[in-house]
Amino acid sequence: MINTIIGKFSAFILFYSLTTIVFSAQEIHRSDQHDFKLAIVASGLEHPWGFVFLPSGDVLVTERAGRLRLIKNGKLEPEPIKGLPNNIYVAGQGGLLDVALHPDFDKNRFIYLSYAGRGDGGAGTEVARGRLNGNALENLETIFVVEPKTGGTAHYGSRLIFAADKSLFVTTGDRYRYMDDAQDPNNHIGSIIRINDDGTVPSNNPFVGQASIKPEIYSYGHRNVQGITVRPSDLSIWSHEHGPRGGDEVNKLQPGANYGWPKITYGIDYSGAIISDQTHAPGMEQPIVYWDPSIAPSGMTFYTGDRFPNWKGDLFIGSLVLTHLRRLEMNEDNVVVQEVMLDGMARIRDVRNGPDGYLYILTDDTDGKLLKLEPIE
């Protein structure tokens, strides 16, 4: 893997698009490869966190406050979906977070939810699945629980993605105050989890059968992973995570790998204190790309549609603190160009491909919006 270092002294070109904060269906947004406009699919969402398209074209959206909403026939249904877990912990960064469909949803109707779950000792990331029947989830069961539960209200990770083999990847965080535990695979803190669709452990997970290591762990040494996706060209799994002050990074995941946090990092503590003076160490992976200063990444996808042909295969990531959509043009595993789009528009919480070939983004606000990027014909 050839590492691409993006920072204050980056040798790569960073393109910034010309855009404005106020948007409408008629406004043209400029970008390096394609000009586009934004269409509002739905508004009035309270701090939405994740979304997924149903085969019908309708959309399920999570609200961090603990509601699962349905956008049906282009309109936000007034009543939330019923039957959610009863131990969702809504505080700080916690609440109802991501949502995913089973790859065979047409047959089994399984919906998967990740959330901060209350329990003995505090809270932690959990995953539940249920069958969607009309406006309710039925036969809900919890299939994964981070061990141990911990105090605090931050760093849950909580993204979900199904791999090509139908195993489910679940991201976690270091829970902010427990960063050193990210180097201890005898717990789930600061790791990426791989489980079967029913929560059981795949027999080919990297640590199966090893004493004192949680068998669900696929990789560890992560800080707070809020983006994970599959690259269609080779079916590899990619993730990104929040650094502290600096050091946000994108990684191509390898089974059993240690991604270094907090032993190695390109960031410093929010106070200015040094967390580690090391950026490299034997046995610890280097990122594909990192950012200093931080962009606070959330949500990510490789564009696969045909509406924007010049974007095909590019990696799109939402930025929270810098309020933009970022496009990474790839040459195999190397980032060759970065472009900032919709600069200053909103905190972008999630970005996904639509079944119609368009690109969709979700804004994190008290009046959050699901937006569709449409090319200028």
Cβ atoms of residues 60 and 41 within 8 Å: no
Widest CA span in the chain:
60
Which residues have C-beta within 8 Å of that of residue 4, sequence separation ≥ 6?
12, 288, 289, 334, 335
Six-digit token string for 204:
């080919």
Closest C-alpha among 224, 206, 225 to residue 215: 206
What kind of architecture, by CATH, is found in domain 13-375?
6 Propeller (2.120)
Q: Please calculate the CA angle 98-1-321 and round it to the nearest 5 degrees.
A: 40
The per-residue pLDDT string of the chain (377 residues; one tens digit each, 9 = 90 and over) reads 444 444 433 333 333 333 333 445 568 999 999 999 999 999 999 999 999 999 999 999 999 999 999 999 999 999 999 999 999 999 999 999 999 999 999 999 999 999 999 999 999 999 999 999 999 999 999 999 999 999 999 999 999 999 999 999 999 999 999 999 999 999 999 999 999 999 999 999 999 999 999 999 999 999 999 999 999 999 999 999 999 999 999 999 999 999 999 999 999 999 999 999 999 999 999 999 999 999 999 999 999 999 999 999 999 999 999 999 999 999 999 999 999 999 999 999 999 999 999 999 999 999 999 999 999 97
Alpha carbons 117 and 127: distance in angstroms, whole number: 9
Closest C-alpha among 315, 332, 250 to residue 285: 250
DSSP structure string for 268-288 = B-TTS--S-S-S--TTBPPPS
What was the pLDDT predicted at 10?
Answer: 38
Closest C-alpha among 313, 316, 318 to residue 332: 313
Q: Would residue 246 be called left, alpha or beta, if left means φ above 0 and alpha means ψ between -120 and 50 degrees?
A: left
Cβ atoms of residues 250 and 266 within 8 Å: no
**Pairing of β 248-252 and β 315-319:** unpaired
Return the SS3 of 181.
helix
The dihedral of CA 130, 64, 218, 234: what is its sign? positive
Please give the positions annotated as active site.
155
pTM score: 0.93
Alpha carbons 270 and 234: distance in angstroms, whole number: 37
What was the pLDDT predicted at 12?
Answer: 35
Alpha carbons 48 and 220: distance in angstroms, whole number: 27
- One-letter identity of residue 274: I
Return the SS3 of 18.
coil
Distance spanning both ends of the chain, measured CA to CA: 38
- One-letter identity of residue 90: V
Cβ atoms of residues 61 and 51 within 8 Å: yes
Which residues have C-beta within 8 Å of that of residue 343, sequence separation ≥ 6?
16, 17, 19, 322, 323, 324
What was the pLDDT predicted at 26?
Answer: 65
DSSP structure string for 66-123 = TEEEEEETTEE-SSPPB---TTB--STT-SEEEEEE-TTHHHH-EEEEEEEEEETTEE
Alpha carbons 338 and 116: distance in angstroms, whole number: 33
